[in-house]
Amino acid sequence: MTLLPIHIIAGSIAIVAGFVSVFAVKGLKLHRQSGMIFVYSMVVLSLTGAVIATLKHQTPNIIGGSLAFYMVTTAFLTVRPRDQWSRWIDTGVRLPAAIKIGIDAVNGGTGKTNGVPAGMMFFFAAVVLLAALGDVRMMMAGGLQGAHRVARHLWRMCFSLFIASGSFFLGQAKVIPRPIRILPLLAIPALLPLVLLLYWLARVLFTRWYQHRALVAPLSRTAVTNN
């Protein structure tokens, strides 16, 4: 399949760029450049993944690809000027589908749908619900500012990275050489984005990190310009 090599290459780039971006100093050149590479590669990864899943009738992967596309694009739009149309982007319609797949997997006796555990589908459904509620809250408030805007950007980026890393290190573990195909070892990079998601939410919302960055960032840009 022609799309498969593109999907694999985009996924590899997304994982590398995503981890570079999440560990880079926020707001500086390395963070911005690696973040943009991550966004572009995730868009390609999610769209090709959804198309491949559609051709193979793998409904959970269709939802996963659609969710990844939604998360990374809304995270990107959060830190970009938005028009009235973009404020109404949401995926509430995916929630019933994800719940139905989870119920079908439980009732099917195997607890899985296309090899995906029902618990994972319910987890995705919960994330979609939280994201949709966040969209509604943002639209009702007329937009987000300050720490809440940064938190929305960071948690959606981290969850997008989790979809990419989890799909590779756990979902495609069979392609990893057998000597290092150790589940606890592979779970570390697969689940690390979720740990970073919680870390950044706590740091942005419950510490003075954002206020400090808001004061330091203008000085950093001035220093770069002067140099």
Tell me which of 76-80, 108-112, 130-134 is least confident.
Answer: 108-112
User: What percentage of the chain exceeds 70 in pLDDT?
Assistant: 74
Does 85 have pLDDT greater than 50?
no
Cα–Cα dist 227/218, whole Å: 14
Predicted local confidence at residue 215, as pLDDT:
45
Answer yes or no: are the C-beta atoms of 156 and 74 closer than 8 Å.
Answer: yes
Burial 58-95 (b: 16+ CB within 10 A, else e): bbbbbbbbbbbbbbbbbbbbbeeeeeeeeeeebbeebb
Predicted local confidence at residue 147, as pLDDT:
84
Q: Strand pairing partners for 39?
A: none
Which is more confident, 220 or 66?
A: 66
Predicted local confidence at residue 112, as pLDDT:
59
pTM (whole model) above 0.85: no
Predicted local confidence at residue 174, as pLDDT:
80
Residue 115 tokens, joined: 């090899």
For 92-131, the pLDDT digits (tens) are 444 455 555 555 555 555 555 566 676 777 787 788 778 8
| CA separation, residue 21 to residues 14, 31, 38, 94, 180 (Å) | 10, 5, 8, 28, 26
For 138-170, the pLDDT digits (tens) are 777 776 778 888 898 999 999 999 999 998 898
The amino acid at residue 123 is F
Does 74 have pLDDT greater than 80?
yes
Which is more confident, 174 or 224?
A: 174
What mean pLDDT is predicted for residues 190-202? 93
Average predicted confidence (pLDDT) for the chain? 78
Residue 180 tokens, joined: 């290092």
Predicted local confidence at residue 27, as pLDDT:
79
DSSP H or E stretch at residue 100:
helix 94-107
Predicted local confidence at residue 222, as pLDDT:
37
Does 135 have pLDDT greater than 80?
no
Highest mean pLDDT among 46-60, 69-83, 84-98, 187-201: 187-201
Does 4 have pLDDT greater than 50?
yes
